[in-house]
Every structure is written in C-alpha cells, then in structure tokens.
Structure 1
C-alpha cells in the first residue's frame, strides 16, 4: 500500500489510453459536457476531481483511478486496479450502490449520486453530487461505468 506522497503516474499504455478516451467520449456523449477541457491522460491523472472507472466483469473491477481517487481511497494504482468496485463501499452501502448502478445502466448516466465510501485504511467519507455514467463505444457496446466527483467529507 502506498501513501499519497508515493503515488506514481501509471504507464499510459495503448489499452489504458483507449479506455481513458472512452471515459471522456462517453461522458461528453451522455451529458453534453466535456469531462475536462483538452483531456489527455496526464490531465485526467492530475484532474482536480476524482475520476474512477470499472469494467463489466461479473464482479466489476476498477481499471482506473486518477491521482485524487488514489489519495482519497489510500491506495496505489496497482492495488486500486485489482479492487472489485463494490469494495469501495461498506457492506451496508453495497445494496444502495447496486441500485445506483442499475439506474445508470437504465438511464445512461446520473448526476446526483451521494453515498458513503471507505478507504483502504478504513476511513469513511461521504461523496456528494457524483456523476456516474456508462462507458459506451461508437457501436453502442457498454464497456463499464465511470464516476467523477469533487465533493466529499470525512465521516
């Protein structure tokens, strides 16, 4: 487990770059707004907001978390990208999280999510006004879901 000061920039290989493009393209297509102006992998990494995404496995696993996400969840990139996304919520919050993901699957995105999450060291925090959206390619195929938020408070 890394401390926030030791979080290194991940290798932006071709696969990760394509996934980051999909995060940005899907956000724009669904919300009508850019996730970030002039988004590049480096700008997403250093964005002044949390950005996370998971795939569509039977138990979805995060494949991306930017620097702010890793600091908040108190994990390094390698650990975070092996974490089933449901473990970002406490057991009592997982049912609510499941309802949220069903809503996103049905509607494409939501922009009013609030909920409690937990860091790797057990610190609890409440996120507010999160946007959660489907990662949809040009053929309409869903590749996962992503979320972004810049409001949270410790509990």
Structure 2
C-alpha cells in the first residue's frame, strides 16, 4: 500500500513524476534541479491541481497539492485518507468508476471532463484532466494520479 509521509515526500514525488513521464511521455514538472525542489514546487506553487489515490479496493487519497486543496476545499489532513469516490457527486460515481477502470487497464487517459463536489458541497467541472497509473519502473501499479489543468463552476 502506498503512503505519503508528507506532501514533500521525494520518494512519492519520484513515483508520481516518473510514472507520468513513462506513461504520458512528458515531464510533470520541468526546469527544476532535483526532486526536492520539484516536489516543493508541485505541492506549493503549481498552477494546476494534482491528486493521487492508493490502489485499495475503495481507493483513498494519498496526495493533494495546495491547488487541489483549494479547489476541493479540503486541507491536507482532510484529503489524505478520504475515499476518492467522495470527490464525485453520487449520480456521477458510476461514470467515474468506469473511467478509473479504463485507466487501470490502459495506463492513462487524457482530456477527461467530469463533475466534482468540494468539501463544502459546491459542484464544479474539472476539465482537461490527465489521469495515469502510479506505476514504478518495474510496472507495479500503486494507485492512480490526476492532473487537473482547468475547472469551472458546475
């Protein structure tokens, strides 16, 4: 089971960014000299939201950068451990489950758009989303991650 000791955990960042590079063919961050600086930038300053969940039967979030925390209205402590299915309204969970099943089998999906619900109950659209398997160099899948490039009111 994957766990993230802190939002700046460089071992997790290496899995997150390495799997994104291998599956999507492009870097998650660029121009930063090492994993520690890149992990810090991704967590604190990235203009896009990044979330990750574990590979449990009922997956739970293990990572959410500050942009994701603001978007979903959860703190790090509230996000980590939260079942990821709760990020989608009840009526949209079946389509979310189908999407995630496709990602697990194909490795990644791009261009996704879906309705989500914040911790305050506000609904919004996530758009231009890339979702990928958190797979290590040996191909073992530890969960999935999502990069949300834009969002709008629902």
* Count of residues paired in the alignment: 144
Cα distance in 2 for residues equivalent to 1:70 and 1:96: 23
Cα distance in 1 for residues equivalent to 2:133 and 2:89: 23
Q: Work out whether 1:19 is the aligned partner of 2:17.
A: no
Cα distance in 2 for residues equivalent to 1:94 and 1:131: 18
In structure 2, stretches of 5+ residues that fail to align are none
Deviation at 1:12, TM superposition (A): 4.6
**Superposed CA RMSD:** 1.4
Q: 1:60-139 residue pairs with structure 2 within 5 A?
A: 60-139=59-138
**What secondary structure, in the 3-state scheme, does the structure 1 residue paired with 2:27 have?**
coil
Cα distance in 2 for residues equivalent to 1:35 and 1:55: 19
User: Normalising by the residue count of structure 1, what TM-score does the alignment of the two structures yield?
Assistant: 0.88
Cα distance in 1 for residues equivalent to 2:145 and 2:89: 19
Deviation at 1:11, TM superposition (A): 3.9
Cα distance in 2 for residues equivalent to 1:123 and 1:23: 28
1:4 equivalent in structure 2: none
In structure 1, stretches of 5+ residues that fail to align are 1-9
Moved over 6 A (4+): none
Cα distance in 1 for residues equivalent to 2:145 and 2:139: 16
**What secondary structure, in the 3-state scheme, does the structure 2 residue paired with 1:48 have?**
coil
User: Normalising by the residue count of structure 2, what TM-score does the alignment of the two structures yield?
Assistant: 0.89
Cα distance in 2 for residues equivalent to 1:135 and 1:12: 16
